[in-house]
Amino acid sequence: MSSVTLDEVVPEMVSAGGWRTSPWLNAKFLVGLLLVGLIVALGLVGRLVWDTDLARVGSAPLNMPPFWVTGGSLAHPLGTENSGRDLLALLIVGSPATLRIGVIVGIVSIVLGTLLGFTSGFLGGWVDAVVRTLADATLTIPSLAILIVISSYVRQLDVNTMALIVSLFSWAGPTRLIRSQVLSLREQGYVRMARLSGLSSFDIMFREMMPNLLPYLAASFVGHASAGILAAVGLEALGLGPQRVPTLGMTIYFALQSSAIIRGMWWWWGFPTLVLVVIFVGFFLITVGLDEVANPKMRRAR
């Protein structure tokens, strides 16, 4: 009887689609998760090791540079701004608030987009015509201008309200994209067999078709969360963000308002901008990685 060695088995497992060839072991996806995870850890672990009360006005010396610059101190390692707030404390408090805006925008856009897209693409007829017309009309509206007007009229603006305002126009894109995917999937053989077996439209849409779209929906969620953060930061840079809870965008707004660039206080706007760059790069890599997970052709090309 011939024996089979481990050196012979492992290559066969890999070539047959073993754990080493799992599409989820994607370098872009994992690096993106790592970057976003670092920002989440900054908000969670930072509260345990640093006093977040230093994010309040007048809690620290004014205009102190980072500790490695002349005049800096380890008591405030990233420096302070002209209202006496510690930059590290602002990042610890503001990063989760900014991420929460993106998560809320992503959830609202995907939930509404999934419901409307599936209903429009699967049922067709007048339902498809109505949903498609509403989505097309929403996409043509200059959303930023309307968001500026709405934000300027809201008196008590917190993080959740800010996210809901940004979400007003975020559902149209996912609706059109998911509708196009459903139009393609409804002609597949397993959908026709499900119809012949007497399954309801709800079961066909959300039990038969939905699992095939989960990687695509995850990529769409991440992409719209990133777009929501970008829109929120744009509004906050105009001074239309939440005033009581510090966010990365509002920190940049106060730095611009106080002429931090001209005064050479690069740390005031530089560190929040760096955190935003890490968030956007992380979300971009996650989206690209999920696209490769959902699309075997992209994996083969890679």
Q: Which sequence spans correspond to the domains of the chain?
A: 25-301
pLDDT of residue 86: 93
Annotate 82-97 with DSSP letters as a single string: TTS-BHHHHHHHHHHH
Name the residue with tokens 């599936």.
118
The tokens for 132 are 């498609």
The tokens 């409307």 sit on which residue?
Answer: 116
Structure tokens at 263: 């005064």
Tokens of 173: 């894109």
CA 81/CA 84 separation, integer angstroms: 6
| Six token digits for residue 282 | 């992380």
Q: 80: which DSSP letter?
A: B
- Each of the 302 residues of the chain gets a pLDDT tens digit; together they read 444 444 444 444 444 444 456 666 778 889 999 999 999 999 899 999 998 888 888 888 898 999 999 888 898 999 999 888 999 999 999 999 999 999 999 999 999 988 888 888 878 788 888 988 888 888 888 777 788 888 777 777 788 888 888 888 888 888 888 888 888 877 777 777 877 777 777 777 777 777 778 878 888 888 889 988 998 888 888 888 887 788 898 899 999 888 898 988 999 999 999 999 999 999 999 888 887 776 665 555 55
Distance CA(281)–CA(39), nearest Å, equals 12
The whole-angstrom distance between residue 194's C-alpha and the CA centroid of its chain comes to 35
Angle at 74 between CA 90 and CA 253, to 5 degrees: 25
* Cβ-count burial 207-237 (b if 16+ within 10 Å, e if not): ebbeeebebbbbbbbbbbbbbbbbbbbbbbb
Which fold does the domain 25-301 belong to in CATH? MetI-like fold (1.10.3720)
- Check if the beta carbon of residue 32 is closer than 8 Å to that of residue 283: yes
- The whole-angstrom separation of Cα 77 and Cα 219 is 36
Give pLDDT, residue 292: 77
